[in-house]
């Protein structure tokens, strides 16, 4: 049987379905291309009109593949996987020969990945630090020992050499149980937790059917990772006589460091973060209860209301306890002040 995968002129590939072909178009094309492109990328190319059948574009990713169908797939030019330095401003809190501590703004992705090959914190660090960053994290994550979500603001530390990287990684892996690492966040959540302080102990893993989301798992689930968050209510907004509130400012401290941990845990106990369209979309209509001026600010808050305000760690060379705190960014200050009104 002839190979169904042939290289066409330019950056087009021709793929012909044989008698064993079955299923929807995006899944079949992904299987034919292999690891070169993810299924989500193939799906996007289909919707963008980059797949043709007998000269006509096919834009339905769910179209059934039939024996004899010969598809032309237009592929984008390959992107350089090695990040390049970019002159992106950094808010530097501390820097020496071993570490650099920054305050990350909202909208800045930490390291390159699908859809964000440039304009990341790594690109900024490469430009600022030249070739002094630790290489343990690989070419796409030089010096990176922990991360914050794209729209989460706050303190981060980066390793400038391999010794610092190993030492810091041990501290983050320990999560402050036996070492001096501490991390604290401020979040604005819907409502008011029943207890003014407490602990959420709920294992996390990938959400079923969506690899970008996380979900609470049963402890005996194969993909369940231990996740523990401690929280304390700092301030309540529009508190009522029955001890409920419209929203609350909460301080969270991590005992583990899972992806989206605070966002998932607070949603799990019924108090998702304001502005979190992934884990708190169902709460957005609550803003309709507010006066118009405040409602506009709440509805216009374009990210999850989460800020990593404190980071403490042991310096990898001197052993000194390094402690950094940064105030709420301007957009969260505006949100809190509006809620206070």
> Strand 247-254 and strand 306-314: pairing?
unpaired
Token pair for 158 = 């980066």
The residue among 329, 270, 334, 327 whose CA lies nearest residue 301 is 334
Residues constituting the chain:
341
- Residues recognised as catalytic: 149
DSSP annotation string for 128-158: HHTT-S-STT-TTSTTBSS---TT-EEEEEE
Q: How far apart are CA 117 and CA 332, in angstroms?
A: 28
CB 326 within 8 A of CB 311: no
Q: CB under 8 Å to 262, separation ≥6 — which residues?
A: 185, 187, 229, 252, 254, 273, 306
Question: Roughly what angle, to the nearest 10 degrees, separates helices 292-299 and 330-340?
Answer: 150
């Amino acid at each position: 049987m002839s190979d169904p995968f042939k290289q066409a002129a330019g950056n087009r590939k021709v793929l012909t379905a044989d008698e064993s072909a079955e299923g929807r178009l995006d899944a079949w094309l992904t299987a034919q291309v292999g690891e070169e492109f993810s299924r989500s990328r193939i799906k996007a190319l289909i919707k963008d009109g980059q797949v043709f059948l007998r000269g006509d574009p096919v834009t339905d990713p769910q179209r059934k593949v039939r024996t004899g169908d010969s598809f032309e797939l237009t592929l984008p030019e390959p992107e350089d996987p090695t990040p390049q330095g970019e002159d992106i401003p950094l808010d530097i809190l501390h820097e020496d020969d071993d570490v650099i501590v920054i305050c990350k703004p909202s909208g800045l992705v930490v390291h390159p990945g699908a859809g964000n090959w440039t304009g990341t914190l790594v690109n900024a660090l490469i430009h600022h630090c030249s070739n002094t960053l630790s290489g343990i994290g690989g070419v796409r994550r030089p010096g990176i020992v922990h991360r914050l979500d794209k729209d989460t603001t706050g303190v981060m530390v980066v390793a400038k050499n391999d010794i610092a990287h190993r030492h810091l990684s041990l501290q983050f892996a320990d999560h402050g149980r036996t070492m001096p690492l501490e991390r604290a966040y401020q979040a604005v959540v819907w409502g008011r937790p029943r207890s003014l302080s407490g602990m959420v102990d709920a294992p996390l893993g990938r959400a079923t059917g969506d690899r970008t989301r996380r979900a609470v798992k049963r402890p005996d689930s194969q993909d369940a990772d231990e996740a523990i968050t401690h929280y304390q209510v700092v301030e309540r907004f529009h508190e009522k006589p029955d001890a409920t509130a419209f929203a609350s400012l909460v301080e969270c401290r991590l005992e583990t460091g899972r992806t989206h941990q605070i966002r998932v845990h607070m949603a799990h106990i019924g108090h998702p973060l304001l502005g979190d369209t992934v884990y708190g979309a169902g709460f957005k209509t609550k803003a309709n209860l507010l006066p118009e001026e405040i409602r506009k600010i709440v509805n216009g808050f374009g990210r999850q209301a989460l800020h990593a305000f404190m980071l403490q760690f042991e310096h990898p060379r001197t052993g000194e306890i390094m402690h950094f705190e940064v105030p709420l960014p301007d957009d969260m200050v505006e949100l809190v002040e509006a809620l206070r009104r």
